[in-house]
Structure 1
Amino acid sequence: MTSDRSALSRDRRRVELREFLRSRRARVSPADVGMPDGGRRRTPGLRREEVAVLAGVGVSWYTWLEQGRDIKVSEEVLDAIARVLLLDPTEHVHLYLLAGLNPPQFASAPSVPAPPQVRRLLDAWSPRPGYIRDRHWNFTDINEAARIVFGYGDSDHNCLVSFFTNVRYRVLQRHWADTAPDVVAGFRADAARYPEDPEFDRIAEELARSSPEFAELWDCHDVAEHTSAVKAVDHPEAGTLVFDATLLPLPELPGHHLILHNPRPGTDTQERLEELMGTHSLVVPHPG
C-alpha cells in the first residue's frame, strides 16, 4: 500500500510538473527575456528549445522534464529554469515541490474540531467573523458572525466549494471575480504540500464539474501564498463592510488555520457591524 501511494505521488507530481511548466512557458514572451520576437508564433510564449538554451541545459533533457519523465534534476538547474520562466518566489517553491527536490514535508492532522483553548479564542472573537479550516479547506469551526456577515449556511462545509457555489456568498462579495484567481491559486499551492493526499484532487475534480469558472482557473496552474487579505462585503442589512482577514496557522493542528476578520480602520465597518450584530443579539466590543 505504501509503495502504491508513493507511485501515485510521483505520477501526480509528474503530471502537475508537466502542466505547470507548459503554462508558465506559455506566458513568457521572447521580449520578456531579452530575445528578438522572431515573427508570428503558432502558440504563445517561449519554445522548449529557447527555455533550454537560456537555462543552459540540453533541449532533449528539458523536453523530458516537461514531459514528466523520470529524470534526475538538480537545484541549480531548477533555479535556472525558474529564472528563465520568471517564476515568483511561490512558484519557485512550487517547482521544487513538483520536481521532488527537498520539498517541505508538513505533518498533517485529521480534520477535527479545534481544541478548547482555540475554540474559546474563536468565541471571544465573536461577533467579529472568524472560522477554522483544515488543510482541505473544510470548515471545522465557524462562529455565528461569519454566518451572518458572509452568508454561510448549514450546507457550507468547505471554504473553496462555498466560494464558487454559494450564491448568497458570491452576491455579497464586492470583489468576487478579482479574488477568485487568488483563491484557486492558494488551494493549488496547499495541495502541492501533500502530494500523497488524493482528497485535493477529488475536491478539485468535483468542483470543476459544477463550476466552469473554477475549472477554467484551475487549468491555469497558478499558485499563490496569502496570510492576509482585504474582504469587502455588500450586506443587505448593514451596507458595505470591509475587513482585514488574517490567516493564522495552528501549530497543534498542522494544516489547520484560524481565519480572523477585523473591521478595517478608516471605514465605518465597526459601526455598521455593531448595528448589524445588535439586531442579531450580538454585541461588538469596541477596540482597545
Structure 2
Amino acid sequence: MADNHLGEFLRARRAALRPQDVGMASYGVRKVPGLRREEVAVLAGVNADYYTRLEQGRERHPSAQVLDALGRVLQLDPDAHAHLHRLAGTAPSSQFAHTTDRVSPALRQLMDGYPGAPAFVINPTLDVLAANALAQALYSPFEQADNLARMTFLDPAGRQFYTRWSGTAQATVGHLRRAAGFDPDNPRLRKLVGVLSEHSADFSRLWKAHAVRGKTQDAKHLLHPDVGPLTLTYLAFDVRDAPGQQLIIYQAESGSPSAEALNLLGSIHATGRVTADMDERTFQ
C-alpha cells in the first residue's frame, strides 16, 4: 500500500487540538486525544465521510479550497499550511530533484572570506556539506560535525552544547518534516529518520507529532567547552545554483561577550592548527 503522508499529517495535527482550542464544547468520554474526525469535518465544512477517506488515504486529491479550510481548523502556521498543500500535491512543485551535495569552489571561497563568522552549507536533510574554519571550531565538541539532526539527538555533546536543547530538537525535527513534504521518498531522509527513530525516543516522539518548521532567525544559545556560553544569531541563504542547499552564517552582536568568545575560539583553533602543522613537518 502506498504511503499515506497526508493522512498521517492530518491525524497528528487533529490529535494535537482539544475541543476548547477551537471553541467547541466537549461531550462524552474521548477514547483518543484531540478532536474527533466529525468535529474537524463540521468545522471545515466538508462531509465527514470524505474527511475520513482523506485520513485513511482512500482520497488523495482534495482541492486547494478544502485544504485551506482544514488548515484553518487545524490552526496550521504558514510553514505547516504550505506543507499540507505539498503533501496533497496542490502546491507548485519545489522538489529538490536536481539537488547535489557538491559545494562549488566559489561558495567555499565565499565562506572562507568570513573568518570572523561561522559559515557552513547544509542540504535538506541537514547534512553539513562544507564549513569554514570557525564553523569547524564551533562544532569541535562533537565527535563528527556531519549532520545537525544526528548531532542534536545522538551525539553525547548535543545536550550540553545546545543549552536550550528542547527548542533545538523541536526545530530540527520540524525542518526535517518540512523537507519530507518536498521530497517524501528521499532515500537519505528515510534512512536518517529510521536511524534517529531507532536510537532516540525523543526524536521518535517529535517526529510522530508532524510539526513543520522552516529556518527561522531565532538566536542560538550554545555552550562551548573552550570559550563558554555563546549567543549567536544567524541568516540562511538558498544557494541558487544548487537547489536544496542553504548557506548558514552565524554572527554575534558586535562588542558582546559572545563576540569576544567567538574571536577567542578562532584564535585557539588557529593556534592548534599551526602547532599540528609544525609537529607534522617535524616528523616528516
1:47 maps to 36
1:135 maps to 124
Matched, 1:240 2:229: yes
Alignment of 1:88-237 (within 5 A): 88-151=77-140, 155-237=144-226
Change (3 A) 1:71 1:247: closer
**TM-fit CA distance, 1:153:** 5.2
1:3 maps to none
Change (3 A) 1:92 1:243: same
Q: 2:69 aligns with which of 52, 57, 80?
A: 80
CA contact (8 A) 2:142 2:158 kept: no
Structure 1 range deviating more: 134-143 or 152-161: 152-161
Identity across the alignment (%): 35
Change (3 A) 1:136 1:71: closer
SS of structure 1 residue aligned to 2:231? strand
AA aligned to 1:65 is L
CA contact (8 A) 1:147 1:153 kept: no
TM (norm. structure 1) is 0.86
CA contact (8 A) 1:229 1:246 kept: no
TM (norm. structure 2) is 0.88
CA contact (8 A) 1:233 1:240 kept: yes
Unmatched runs of 5 consecutive residues or more in structure 2: 272-284
Unmatched runs of 5 consecutive residues or more in structure 1: 1-7, 283-288
SS of structure 1 residue aligned to 2:85? helix
AA aligned to 1:250 is V
CA contact (8 A) 1:238 1:276 kept: yes
AA aligned to 1:55 is A
SS of structure 2 residue aligned to 1:244? strand
Structure 1 range deviating more: 175-184 or 192-201: 192-201
**TM-fit CA distance, 1:110:** 4.2
CA contact (8 A) 1:151 1:168 kept: no
Following the alignment from structure 1 to structure 2, what is the Cα–Cα distance between the partners of residues 79 and 64?
Answer: 17
Q: 2:45 aligns with which of 47, 56, 60?
A: 56
What value does the CA root-mean-square deviation take over the aligned residues?
2.0
CA contact (8 A) 1:242 1:267 kept: no
